[in-house]
Amino acid sequence: MNPTIKDVAKKANVSIATVSRVLNNLQGYSEQTKAKVYRAIEEIGYQPNAIARGLINKRTQTIGVMFPTVSSLFSSEILHGVEDFAQDNGYSVMVCNTDSDGKRTLKYLQVLREKQVDGLIFSSEVLKEEYYQTLQQMRIPYVLVSTESGYDHVPYIKVNDFQAAYDAVEYLIRFGHRKIALLSGTKHDTIAGIPRIEGYKKALENHGIPINESYIAYGDFLFDVSYKAMEELLSRAPDITAIFAASDEMAIAAISVAAKYGIKVPDELSIIGYDDLKLAQMSVPPLTTVRQPLYDMGNLASQKLIHMIKTGKAESSCIVAHSIVERQTVRAISSHDKRDIHNPKT
């Protein structure tokens, strides 16, 4: 027979209620009693039953996390931050991969509902009306990370994508660049696509640089799509001297295409990315990029969610600071610099 909570109480010479309070991090016992209980647990090999505890306190000590692509470096950095805080506070994390088009989102919301998670972190996807309605029916707290919503009472954590893109382009302008291309994400993405496009355009406008639509290409935040988009960009705009890529993965694709056609980075073409994934440090040359503090964003989301679970109180949204990490893919040019990139299609 597996040891029970009654066995722990007997071994520690305390009541079952005291053992339950210790296991559920409630008050009403001394540090000495807490130590006795945990010593008894270790000595008899007791394994607390999360389901049984959930029946008592109406909680499972589990939170759900939803990502469009769990395997990406972007998601893993956020998840690392989520898990560190959750684990330190006695919560387990259940991760769901909703797929890039969100076709599994409603299915996984139902799964998390059946698993009776105490709360949810929803990342990097638009909170559609059907998702919102389902979450409301679940009656659990939830926090958005790297996305936002139009619902006033739904807290989110993200950077200011418009301002971060503006700063990236202005950084290139300060280095003397005026023929600056944009390798953008998804064209109609209201979360990370459109704000970064608008930030790019506003920076050019504020510095008196005409917007050239032929300088804008769309890579959908994917390496393969960005690789083709970069080839097409160089074909129609061979005079560009710099590129702002709206993600590090797309920036790496741009560097790869440049290498394929013998274009030296940064001597002939400067490139700045967005995210500061570990990939940015591993590229050749190492990528200058806009840093999103992804680990911190995940950690903060976990903090806010668990506070909401414990207190039932609402949390506010938070715009976290971005920064530019200088490495080796941007160089200064003068007005006398000239480049001659051969058409990749020829």
Query: What pLDDT digit, counting tens, does each position of 3-25 carry?
Result: 888 999 999 999 988 988 888 77
Amino acid 84: pLDDT:
96
Please name each of the domains of the chain with its CATH number. Answer: 5-57 (1.10.260.40), 62-159+294-321 (3.40.50.2300), 161-291 (3.40.50.2300)
As a whole number of angstroms, the distance between CA 178 and CA 50 comes to: 60
Say yes or no to pLDDT of 191 above 70: yes
As a whole number of angstroms, the distance between CA 337 and CA 334 comes to: 5
Query: Residue 213 carries which DSSP code?
Result: G
From the list 223, 235, 226, the residue with the least C-alpha distance to 184 is: 226
In contact, 329 and 176? CB cutoff 8 Å: no
Tell me the pairing of strands 270-275 and 242-245. Answer: parallel
Q: Cis peptide before 285, with omega less than 30 degrees from 0?
A: yes
Say yes or no to pLDDT of 346 above 60: no
From the list 116, 138, 123, 66, the residue with the least C-alpha distance to 95 is: 66
Amino acid 341: pLDDT:
42
Say yes or no to pLDDT of 338 above 50: no
How much is the average pLDDT of 306-321? 94
As a whole number of angstroms, the distance between CA 115 and CA 335 comes to: 62
Q: What is the mean pLDDT of the chain?
A: 90
Which amino acid is residue 307, in one-letter code? Answer: H
Residues 269-307: pLDDT tens digits? 999 999 999 999 999 999 999 999 999 999 999 999 999
Q: Out of 255-264, 290-299, 336-345, which region has the weakest mean confidence (pLDDT)? A: 336-345
Say yes or no to pLDDT of 168 above 50: yes
The model's confidence at residue 343, banded by pLDDT at 50, 70 and 90, is very low
pTM of the model: 0.82
